[in-house]
Structure 1
Amino acid sequence: MKKKSFILTSIALGLSVLSTSFVAQASFPFIDADGQQIPSLAPMLEKVLPTVVSINVEGKQKSSRQNSEDAIPEEFRRFFEDGFGFSFGGMDNSPRSFRGLGSGVIINAQKGYVLTNNHVVDQADKITVMLQDGREFKGKIVGKDEMSDIALVQLENPKNLTEIKLADSDKLRVGDFTVAIGNPFGLGQTTTSGIVSALGRSTGSDSGTYENYIQTDAAVNRGNSGGPLINLKGELIGINTAIISPSGGNAGIAFAIPSNMANSLVQQILEFGEVRRGLLGIKGGELNADLAKAFGTDTQQGAFVSEVIPNSAADKAGIKAGDVIISINGQKLKSFAELRAKIATTGAGKAIDLTYVRDGKEKEVKVTLQSDEQSKTSARSLIPNLEGAELSNYSKKSIKGVEITSIKPKSMAAKRGLEEGDIIIGVNRQAIENLGELRKALDKEPSAIALNILRGDSNFYLLIK
């Protein structure tokens, strides 16, 4: 019997952006010119489509061809080699150029923030974002999270933009109608429709990513990555990110990152300059019929706790090995993978409500999540005229600030004299303790920007504007 071969692939290559702040009503039925009532999504889409963007990226990879290919998972290589996604060039040991297309959606018109997939913009040196009306903007990465495949891009000098309204994805139900927007195969802005096929879905891959997907049968193909999945009100319910298919094309099984999950990560990036993952402190797996019978519970879905880490948030809340966690914040859990994704994308220090089953009885407990220091994701440089600098929060001994963790050779940051290991502790005499404070200081758009920098035993100001 032949083994079935399925392709789980990211779908970077097209972009459609929602660029209006509105609450569109699902205009059914549509009244045509003859006064006839015709069911149509057109009235809603006329308001939504201007809020969708196309993303064009360019960059270079320093690794050799062999290393570059090795870095691409087997199930993704077909996508990278088919001429639709990325193209590589150069000798084996030289920097290799690549180009790619993806989709995104504007979530903040005033700041010019665009939500997309990490795999759309990862390693990009140049990002160009095009709106439905043909306008183009340069984009820069504000922050990204590889483990959840979310990235936040900011447009340069944003003007006359509109933003999409975010829906509460926790309220989705199987059977709800969905609409996906993107640029499949580079054809241009395309809209498809379907329903929510499943919730809390995991692909079962061993990549270590946090998967809590909305599954939909709306047609999604290469080029839809980062594009919006919306409801009939024109509200964002998810970010299209992957498909499963025997051939690599649409097979009616597509996955989107829930809007609540994406928004939680975005808010962490904007507030702290990094993703601060929550940590519950348990080990476990999926609940099955045998485990349910062995532990005397009628519960058939949930997260089975096999071990509780001493002094962890779970331990302090009284959770024990053998418990079955069945809901988080009132939302029923279908799997351990769903619990893992929701915990990891909830910020450290956040309080959550868990319901679990022990000895056949349901119990409720409030848990304050600890910080997972090993899986923080830092933001990239946000400082004008200092492109090429990677930034990370710094806190050692009595010093708090923003560390320059790496500098690209011949970049603007290098030409300005910044060095790896420099620590920014202030902007214009205002103390700075983390990336969030740095961003807030720069959001005020001061007429001059002088960075107070610690370098070894030296303390000096660097004027960059």
Structure 2
Amino acid sequence: MKKLASLLIVAILGGVLSLGGYKLFLEEESGSSLPVASSAQENNSFIPASYTNRIYGTNADFTEAAENTVHAVVHVKNVAVFNGPRNPFEFYYGNRSEGKAVQGAGSGVIITPDGYIVTNNHVIEGASELEVTLNNNQTYTAEVIGSDKKSDIALLKIDAEELDYIPFGNSNNIKLGEWVLAVGNPFNLKSTVTAGIVSAKARDLNTSDAMPQSFIQTDAAINPGNSGGALVNINGELIGINTAITSRTGSYIGYAFAVPSNNARKIVEDIMEYGDVQQGILGIRGGSINPTAVEDLGLSTTQGVYVASVSPGSGAENAGIEKNDIIKQIDNIRINKFSDLTGYINSKRPDDVVMVTILRDGKEREVKVTLTKYEAYSISPIGLEVANATKQELRKYNTDYGVKINRILRNDLPAEEFVGAIITEINNQKVSDINEVERVIENKRDSDPIVVSFIDKKGEKQRVVWR
């Protein structure tokens, strides 16, 4: 009996110590990791119903945004139409067949109830006919109202009324980490919705500033067929047009890119009102600040756009912007890199006025800049873009005529050698403006070489033949 009593006492003591250890170590540790409503509730191990602090990542509900947008995203088929016999026997028997073949497919976003649709230029490029299928399986033939290859945006129209559509949101207001939905038709799977966050803003996919771009980066899954589809916020507002992915396999691996809605909207409105894109420019050349520039130029800041030169007669020159200035802000948009600048300016038009904050001699100042019109012509076969030269620029190169090389369109051409040079002749014909350049290029045969005579930045005459 004594032995049994001793065992019972040991068991009871062991239980008490175990419970005490649990209370001391486990409950105290778990209780300290949770927020509480006030200091008077320090011992609470739960979040009271009246707790008002935001708990990030726990309240996202995509159902309403998905339901409100999925019916306004369409399937766009790029169709080739062929007429006449497709084999010699059809000639012999007198049969003349007609047919269609789908060359490619993508997505589009209905932006008005009467059938205007925005998509990517690469989705509709080269099509002889476009078929648009709504979420309810109704199919329409679409008309191309206009497109802009540079921004990869196109505007279509179908003959329909009272359609569901997605309203434009303000892409300048998006924030890193904000939830977004990608709505489209990947791999011909209609009405697909994926979710992710805004991973980066003003992302430039180029390795140089020759053709600066400004994309919204997201980790929402986007695959082939999503091109031209909608990137929406959780309010169901259009904040981007899904355009590209970065992938070694051709399929989604975590990075996707969309044209910001402010840029797409401006392009669409330009096409509807003017028939083409009206692009405003500051009139500066420069680039993003990097560690090399900070060291070589002795800069006092590590972010912004360094002004390497100012175009004569431009809005920037008229406002007093000078070489070596650093652009830090435009209106309420912080400018940390060149794609921040181009992304915002590309949403503006000629004659718009913007407030530019510049850093000069260690002091910030604000100037009002009236944007001027961007007029240029792309000589696509040789990868050069030319613009009209001012009288001051022509005098600098001791010539009375010519057009300036505005930028290169291919990464294999040395920008430092070509950009700023003056082209005086193309195929032995003098050129004084971009209209004359266009006429020469359009009138040449495809098999003919392009011979360019130009004055380089050292003032020396050069001649290059592109075959």
Structure 1 Cα separation of the partners of residues 370 and 71 of structure 2: 40
Counterpart for residue 300 of structure 1? 302
1:107 aligns with 2:111: yes
CA–CA distance in 1 between the matches of 2:307 and 2:135?
48
| Partner Cα separation in structure 1 for residue 126 and residue 243 of structure 2 | 18
Out of 142, 147, 151, the position equivalent to 2:154 is: 151
1:263 aligned residue: 265
| Aligned equivalent of 1:134 | 137
Residue aligning to 1:183 = 185
Q: Structure 2 CA distance, aligned partners of 1:39 and 1:292?
A: 42
- The alignment partner of 1:250 has SS state of coil
Asked if residue 44 in structure 1 is aligned to residue 46 in structure 2, the reply is no
Partner secondary structure for residue 274 of structure 1: coil
Letter of the 1:339 partner, please give it: L
Asked if the contact 2:133/2:140 (under 8 Å) is kept, the reply is yes
Query: Structure 1 CA distance, aligned partners of 2:210 and 2:289?
Result: 19
Map 1:43-62 onto structure 2 (within 5 A): 43-59=64-80
SS in 2 for 1:363: strand
State the alpha-carbon separation in 1 of the partners of residues 153 and 163 from structure 2: 21
Higher RCO, 1 vs 2 (CA within 8 Å, ≥6 residues apart) = 1
**CA pair 97-186 structure 1, distance change in 2 beyond 3 A:** closer
- Structure 1 position 252, deviation (Å): 0.8
Distance 1:168 1:98 in 2: 35
Pairs within 5 Å for 1:50-449: 50-59=71-80, 99-110=103-114, 112-156=115-159, 158-205=160-207, 209-293=211-295, 295=297, 297-374=299-376
Post-superposition offset of 1:302: 1.6
Q: 8 Å contact 2:182–2:231 — kept in the other structure?
A: yes
Greater Cα radius of gyration, structure 1 or 2: 2
Stretches of structure 1 lacking an aligned partner (at least 5 in a row)? 1-36, 62-95, 377-405, 407-465
Alpha carbons of 1:236 and 1:339: their partners in 2 closer, same or farther (altered >3 Å)?
Answer: same
SS of residue matched to 1:108: coil
Q: Secondary structure at the match of 2:294?
A: helix
3-state SS of paired residue (2:327): strand
Relative to the length of structure 1, the TM-score reads 0.62
Question: Do the aligned partners of 1:280 and 1:369 also contact (CA within 8 Å) in 2?
Answer: yes
Determine helix, strand or coil for the equivalent of 2:144.
strand
Change (3 A) 1:372 1:121: same
Asked whether the equivalents of residues 268 and 347 of structure 1 are also in contact (C-alpha less than 8 Å), the reply is no
The alpha carbon displacement at 1:249 in A equals 1.4
- 1:363-394 per-residue CA deviation (whole Å, 9 max, x = no partner) reads 11111111112159xxxxxxxxxxxxxxxxxx
Quote how far apart the aligned CAs of 1:38 are: 9.4
Q: What is the CA-CA distance between 1:228 and the residue it aligns to?
A: 0.4
Identity %: 40
The whole-number CA distance in structure 2 between the counterparts of 1:162 and 1:186 is: 21
Following superposition, the deviation at residue 195 of structure 1 comes to: 0.4
The change in CA–CA distance for 1:212 and 1:38 in structure 2 (over 3 A counts) is closer
What is the distance in 1 between the residues matched to 2:65 and 2:281? 40
Deviations 1:324-369 (A, max 9, x none): 1122221112311332343345222221221111112111111111
Tell me the distance in 2 between the aligned counterparts of 1:344 and 1:230.
21
Alignment partners' CA distance in 1, 2:60 and 2:332: 35
Could you list the per-position Cα deviations for residues 425-463 of structure 1 after superposition, in whole angstroms to 9, with x for gaps in the alignment?
Answer: xxxxxxxxxxxxxxxxxxxxxxxxxxxxxxxxxxxxxxx
Asked whether the equivalents of residues 148 and 209 of structure 1 are also in contact (C-alpha less than 8 Å), the reply is no
Question: 1 or 2, which has the higher helix percentage?
Answer: 2
Gaps of 5+ in 2: 1-57, 83-99, 379-441, 443-467
Q: What amino acid sits opposite 1:214 in the alignment? A: I
Change (3 A) 1:181 1:338: same
In structure 1, distance between residues paired with 2:325 and 2:216: 26
Take 1:312 and 1:322, find their aligned partners in 2: how far apart are those partners? 17
CA contact (8 A) 1:296 1:360 kept: no
Contact kept in structure 1, 2:180 and 2:197, CA below 8 Å: yes
Shift of 1:297: 4.4
CA distance in 2, matches of 1:375, 1:207: 18
How high is the TM-score relative to the length of structure 2? 0.61
SS of the residue 2:309 aligns to: strand
Mapped to 1, the partners of 2:240 and 2:228 lie a distance apart of 9
Match of 1:86 in 2: none
Question: Cα distance 1:39–1:292, how it changes in 2: closer, same or farther (>3 A)?
Answer: closer
**Matched residue type, 2:67:** E
SS at match of 2:269: helix
Q: Which residue of 1 aligns with 2:14?
A: none
Following the alignment from structure 1 to structure 2, what is the Cα–Cα distance between the partners of residues 39 and 360?
A: 44
The answer to whether the 8 Å contact 1:202/1:338 transfers is no
- Stretch of structure 1 that moved more, 197-206 or 99-108: 197-206
Partner of 1:65: none
Helix, strand or coil for the counterpart of 1:46? helix
Query: What residue identity is the alignment partner of 1:193?
Result: A
Which digits, 9 at most, give the CA deviation of each residue in 1:164-209, with x for residues without a partner? 1111110111110111011112222211111000001001246954
